[in-house]
Structure 1
Amino acid sequence: LMSVRECWASLFTPRAIFYRDQNKIPHDKVKISVIVQKMVQSEVSGVMFSINPVTNEKDSIVIESVWGLGEMIVQGSVVPDTYVVQKETFSILSKVISDQKVMLTRKGEKTEERDVPKTIIDKQKISDADIVKLAKISNALQKHYYFPQDSEWAYEKGKIYIVQTRPVTTIEGVGKKISDNTDGVKDENQVNTPILSGAAASPGIGTGYVKILQGPKEISKVKTGDVLVAKMTSPDYVPAMKKAVAIVTDEGGLTSHAAIVSRELGIPCVVGTKNATKTLTDNAVITVDGSKGLVYTGGKVSRSIKKKVEQKLEFEDTKTATKLYVNLAEPERAKEISKMNVQGVGLLRAEFMIANIGIHPKEAIQQKKQDVFISKLEKGLEEFTKAFSPRPVVYRATDFKTNEYRSLPGGEKWEPNEANPMLGFRGAYRYISHPEVFNLELQAMKNVRKKYKNLWMMIPFVRSPEELKKVRRLVATEGFFEDPTFKFWMMVEIPINVIMIDEFIKVGIDGVSIGSNDLTMLVTGTDRDNAEVSSSFNERSPAVMWSLRRVIKHCNRAKVTSSVCGQAPSTYDDFARKLVKYGVTSMSINPDAVDRVRGVIKQAEKDLAKGNI
């Protein structure tokens, strides 16, 4: 009972109070439930993020692990192993193996610290096969919850247990400049060789005077613009952390207190340096590169260190002939990302909003809750259209597969079990088969368009021109085409869309958006989610590039907008350059890649004008 009380009391720890104050959440409006579960006597434990928590790159999964129970990794009292996995192929991109001399284990009803056996102090905590297995679980959790996940796991007797998962709470304001606090200290010493290295825990560059803290009682030493250096931080350090220009710690990983709070505050941070408190001296001038996990002496930052920051700022306001849109799903991010220099939302995924409504649409209809369903979807759509107005928001109608629909409350009653949902009951065919469900989306859109005319529609997974005609009739019945501001797009993600593109255009569409992810799978016959063949998944395959070129060429000839919204232009610079060469109208990019891709497009357009591409 005392443990349960302590859990309830944790609602009012200094860190919890600080978080609510920072986010303007009333203290009397929060509640907490305590889940009691059997404890896993873990041989290895850790955390994993379905996106990179430091850079917010969505194409990588980050896993940390320690010997023993996971409390040490959360407290930051040891430096964990860190493994980075590529999300598309599940190939291991990097591994950082850290020595661990002490571990936490269970003894009776309590836990105790004990020495790690000497034979495994410097060993990798889990096998490569288990790293890949964890990465797949992390990816599956994100797909299930439709939001990046921060998950805790434990490994016991050959089994992996997921003991907690929650949304990533430190997704950075992507439209915000990378922290570059290097002007507050006058020091001409420039050293390009780092004196310390650790885990890159919070991006940005900060220069200041070192203030080494041996404990929270010394936080008054830190003045505005100093670099806080400590063995590890705790909630008691937060007042000093808010003043610091950068933070460096001896211990901890990407989920330690110092790392999480630094990301929340937007302060550059390097953790797990092992000996920062011994190597550095008070009042010395240092530069902290939180993006690379490096610490330099001196205050004059070299060109190479600043390169990433300057590239981002250089292209932030650049104008290009090729339009740049963003891919979005979460209404909570609409206002923030709308501040970016983009022409609108090129792919607004419906699935996140539909999942948050909390009921299968057919179940809502049966329970006569259509108005609730429509109202909630309308609210989500309005968040985007209001934030981006007058820039267009291209809403892709629901593209849940049957296995995903089944996971919605009430879904098991309505959805079949399909052997291959990827090629099953989805997209346009589903709207034709269940027009009453599709009409819920149309009604929500109609209500939003009464106030915001920048909401357009895009139809996914269209298997034939005849299907497109039938869906277009459903949309026309609701009067959408009577307003010339309404635009009707189609996804190009099936080989038939490429082969018969002219026939689809004749049906009457204003634009197409090429989904390079699904198109690559279906053109090359490769399931990117299947580890056995995922290494063959290649968005830059000659067959895929031929398909892109053909669609763009035929759209340009018919004066129809062409866009690409898959992962490839966000990831591969050469892919984006080829799209410019082909004459694509626009690209829709992940928010974290917008400024970089804009620079690639600008250079490609210059090269094209000179005949160099």
Structure 2
Amino acid sequence: MSILHWLGQIPFADRAAVGEGAFYLSRLGEKGYPILPGFVVPARAFRGFLETIDWLEPLFTDFSTSSLHLDINNPRQLQAIAQQIRHVFQATELAADWLEALEGALQELRDQTTGEISALVLRPSIGLAHASDSFPSLQAQSLIEPRLCASHVSAVATMLKALWASAFRAQTLLYWQRSGIELQNIQLAVMVQPVQPAIASGFLEMSNQQLALQACWGHEWALLRGEVSPDCYWVEPGQGTTLYQPGWKPLAYGLETEIPQASPALEQWLPEPSPMMPYVLDAAYQTRMVLRDEVLEQIVQLGLRLHVAFGNTFRWTWVLGRAGREPRLCLSQVDAAIAPPEPVAGQARSLAVALPSPNAAEPKIKPASTPPVLQGIAAAPGQAIAPVHVITEAELLPSSAPAGTIWVAASIHPDWLPALRHAAGIIAEQGGRASHGAILARELGIPAVVGAAGALEAVRSGEVLLLDGDRGLVFRSPTPETSTDRLAQVTFPNGQRRPVADSGAPHPKPLPPTATQIWAAVSQVSSLERLRDQPVDGIGLLRSELMLVDLMAGRSLADWLQDPADVVARLAERIERFAAAIAPRPLFYRSLDLRAHEFPQFLGEGTSANPVLGQRGAYRYQVHPQLFELELAALGAVLARGLDNLRLLIPFVRSVEEFRFCRQRVEAAGLRRQGTFQLWIMAEVPSVLLLMADYVEAGVQGFSIGTNDLTQLLLGADRDDAALAQAYTAQHPAVRRAIAQILQTARQHRVPCAVCGQAVTDFPDLIAEWVQAGATALVVEPEAIAATQRVLYQAEQQILLQWAQQQRHQESF
């Protein structure tokens, strides 16, 4: 088994080993985007190399696991340490097994590219342990300049060590210290890619709903080193218009074989010998437009696809290579998005180029250029600029929060819903993407950042913040670029949120129906409008507890139960609105799953020692049956009105006895007499793995895998704890095997089984795996329906293709 990783073949489990840049470039290759091929030397090679060094200086004792505390105000010390590390790195031999692996990979790379490789580029790919998202890692890797070398193994080994040493230059040492990044938390991997002849290259990113594109002749080194002023293009996807600003490109970088004989090479500019050399361009090329119309259109289409699939976090490096007679466009690197150049008045002009013209995109707030004051988990997309309202522990219900403010709290409580609708944004110290507060924020279209440690101490009520829910960042008062006219487009005077219903992306042609159904997960009546034109096969999860908060009008459960008839009438009226809107497609009503820490005012109970494992779901129905019986009465009233698309989903079932209790109550309420009524359970407590056959025998008619609870219970990682965000993942082998086992067992017993929860949206790569195992439906939030349908369609087509190939193979014998 190779100890190296190949781009386009890197599983999620190896993400930390290859770093964020390589992981996302590999993801592009897996999804069919054109990428520059290559392999990755993982971070463990860097770690292993550090451990083999015999340090003589006391400062470097236990270097590979130390924090390396330095005096950052002493530039001479930083320079001396950086120089010493560089010398020691170069004097230390690379381990024999890594040299052997490199030799084999280089030969395989030659075979892939069907020709001799004259040069290689080594690019850093960093992963920072404990970072809540990709942005800090991608930002850090920009500190280390890529390296070029010849294509034999000794040159690669030498340049690999040089790149590793670059992580300890004076500049980078200063960055690590000031950013509070300890050495043991830096996972430095290296991508190794062939250098192929290039016509042009540049950068591509999305900013302010504009596609910003930079282009130069030859390879991107002239851009990286600031030696040319690139051609710049700004494309308005919503209008199909393009603004062009010519650059001045006196030189280009190329391999020796690419340099025209009449163009003088500038080797003296290089700090060290390199296979890539700058050369002077002919005067006509210095001001000529780099991209022809057809190439520009191709790059723009690629950029729009990238934006839809990956959002605004990234900057993509593209290369237009010479491959035979036709130029070949590919992506070579992924970095953190930065503010691209702005058009200069009097220099930029419109281009009459036929470009894609999707529906008009909504303007977005330009990210602040200053460092963020807070960083957390991107829980709900959108951006807002508004004053802050800090919610203290004493403020149990934030009804006094002014409308249009950004709320800052320890956590988001679902029973805040009535007041929450008026918030411009939400920042919470606790919570993850799968927490109910984050789910509610997404459904309401309120930008939210959760897991923002220290938020209550970092900000104060009244100050203005820029909240970026797309990246999980919060900035102090907006920069001048985000004020005046631009702000007037995106905020009301006291704050305005950007709804997430339409990302401004091109609307693709409708896809054919899929065998696996797509169901929506909702709780608010306002979400029904967003489902109207969506390719959805039903509502697979009506979150009753979040729906209930609206009906309660601030009353406690004990007070509400004083009038049972009113409870039934209100519940029936609300459920009927959902059932009627989605009919004849199914509506799965999940009965109440009340956790004490999320509904403290409503339940009026003391704090539970562990609310995740406390009185909730089916167990609560046995202890407090009255509310469950009122829910069943409301469902009966809806069925009696002729809405036969209703199904019941029992949450958090720990045992077959709990299910039997619920089934008996359902039968006593007369619901099973309705021919189309079905009784399902959520498969989210790990005991379900051993009890599937018993549940089916007891009368379960279907399962819906609750990946949120199943993941946290299997891994012992609280989904509401931001500190455990890296440990809490449905990509864990145990979770993947558990889901596969549930799906396969359900198929064996011929009962339907859906996959529900944040995993469907966060890990679309797993959809093919679930479909193969027997998933009959996927349950996602409204904004993820279209993207899920595209992934699902591709997965089913691939499965059909594999089946057809197997059939042909069998027939050949």
> Given the two structures, how large is their TM-score scaled by the length of structure 1?
0.55
What's the secondary structure of 2:648's corresponding residue?
Answer: strand
**Residue type of the alignment partner of 1:516:** T
Aligned pair 1:514/2:813, yes or no?
Answer: no
Q: What is the total number of aligned residue pairs between the two structures?
A: 385
Tell me what 1:341 maps to: 535
The code of the aligned residue for 1:136 comes to E
Q: 1:148 to 1:156 in 2, by over 3 A?
A: closer
Query: Partner of 1:331: helix, strand, or coil?
Result: coil
Supply the AA of the counterpart residue of 2:626.
E
* Partner in structure 1 of residue 615 of structure 2: 425
For 1:552 and 1:361, locate their aligned partners in 2 and report how far apart those are by CA, in whole Å.
37
Aligned counterpart for 1:350 among listed residues 544, 555, 561: 544
Structure 2 alignment gaps of length 5 or more: 1-207, 210-306, 314-364, 388-425, 470-474, 476-480, 806-813
In structure 2, how many angstroms separate the alpha carbons of the residues matched to 1:556 and 1:141? 30
Indicate if the aligned counterparts of 1:80 and 1:252 stay in contact, CA closer than 8 A: no
Change in Cα spacing, 1:254 to 1:484, as seen in structure 2 (3 Å) is same
Q: Is the 8 A contact 1:549 1:582 kept in 2?
A: yes
Q: What residue number does 1:389 align with?
A: 583
**How far apart, CA to CA, are the structure 2 residues paired with 1:515 and 1:230?**
41
Amino acid at match of 2:557: P
For residues 558-577 of structure 1, the aligned pairs below 5 Å read 558-577=749-768
Shift, 1:322, TM fit: 0.6
Cα pair 1:79 1:252 within 8 Å, conserved: no
- Which letter maps to 1:160? V
C-alpha separation in 1, matches of 2:793 and 2:439: 37
Q: Is the 8 A contact 2:588 2:647 kept in 1?
A: yes
| 1:364 counterpart residue number | 560
Counterpart contact for 2:447–2:497, Cα < 8 Å? no
Contact 1:318 1:598 (C-alpha < 8 Å) held by counterparts: no
- Structure 1 counterpart SS, 2:429: helix
Partner of 1:281: none
2:675 to 469, 480, 484: 484
1:456 alignment partner in structure 2: 647
Secondary structure of 2:652's match?
Answer: coil
Partner Cα distance (2:714, 2:575) in 1: 33
2:596 aligns with 402
Q: CA deviation at 1:597?
A: 1.1
- Residue 492 of structure 1 contacts residue 514 of structure 1 at CA under 8 Å; is this kept in 2? yes
Counterpart secondary structure, 1:469: helix
How far apart are residue 499 of structure 1 and its match?
1.9
Tell me the amino acid that sits aligned with residue 600 of structure 2.
R
CA contact (8 A) 1:142 1:148 kept: no
Percent identical among aligned pairs is 25
Normalising by structure 2, we get a TM-score of: 0.42
1:329–1:503 CA distance, 2 compared to 1 (3 A): same
Shift in Å, 1:317: 4.1
TM-aligned CA deviation for residue 346 of structure 1? 0.6
Shift of 1:603: 1.0
1:550 aligns with 2:741: yes
Q: How much has 1:357 moved relative to structure 2?
A: 2.0
Cα deviation digits, residues 291-335 of structure 1 (max 9, x gap) = 5xxxxxxxxxxxxxxxx51xx423x44310111111111012224
Aligned counterparts of 1:350 and 1:162: Cα–Cα separation in 2: 33
Larger radius of gyration: 2
Q: Which has the higher contact order (CA 8 A, sep 6+)?
A: 1
Matches within 5 A, 1:272-311: 308-309=505-506
Query: Which residue of structure 1 lines up, in the alignment, with residue 459 of structure 2?
Result: 160
Unaligned runs of 5+ in 1: 1-52, 62-75, 104-132, 171-198, 200-228, 234-248, 267-289, 292-307
User: 1:378 touches 1:444 (CA, 8 Å); kept in 2?
Assistant: yes
1:438 equivalent in alignment to 2:737: no
Counterpart amino acid of 1:497? V
Residue 534 of structure 1 aligns with which residue?
725
Distance in 1 between residues matched to 2:670 and 2:463, nearest whole Å: 47
After TM superposition, the structure 1 = structure 2 runs for residues 206-221 of structure 1, keeping only pairs within 5 Å, are none
Over 3 Å counting, the alpha-carbon distance change for 1:478 and 1:157 in structure 2 is closer
Distance 1:439 1:60 in 2: 48
Q: CA deviation at 1:611?
A: 1.8
Give 2:429's aligned residue.
Answer: 136
Tell me how far apart the structure 2 counterparts of residues 151 and 569 of structure 1 sit (CA, whole Å): 20
Match status 1:587 vs 2:781: no
Q: Work out whether residues 232 and 258 of structure 1, in 8 Å CA contact, stay in contact via their aligned partners in 2.
A: no
Q: Is the 8 A contact 1:463 1:497 kept in 2?
A: yes
Q: RMSD in angstroms over aligned alpha carbons?
A: 4.6
Q: Which amino acid aligns with 2:565?
A: D
Contact 1:335 1:383 (8 Å CA) reproduced: no
**1:494 counterpart residue number:** 685
Shift of 1:509: 1.4
Q: Tell me how far apart the structure 2 counterparts of residues 232 and 262 of structure 1 sit (CA, whole Å).
A: 18
- 1:605 equivalent to 2:605? Answer no
Summarize the alignment of residues 34-433 of structure 1 with structure 2, pairs less than 5 Å apart.
Answer: 85-87=376-378, 134-136=427-429, 142=437, 147=444, 149=446, 158-161=457-460, 232-233=484-485, 249=486, 255=491, 308-309=505-506, 312-314=507-509, 316-358=510-552, 359-365=555-561, 368-408=562-602, 411-412=603-604, 415-433=605-623
Question: 1:56 and 1:468, CA in 2 relative to 1: closer, same or farther beyond 3 A?
Answer: farther
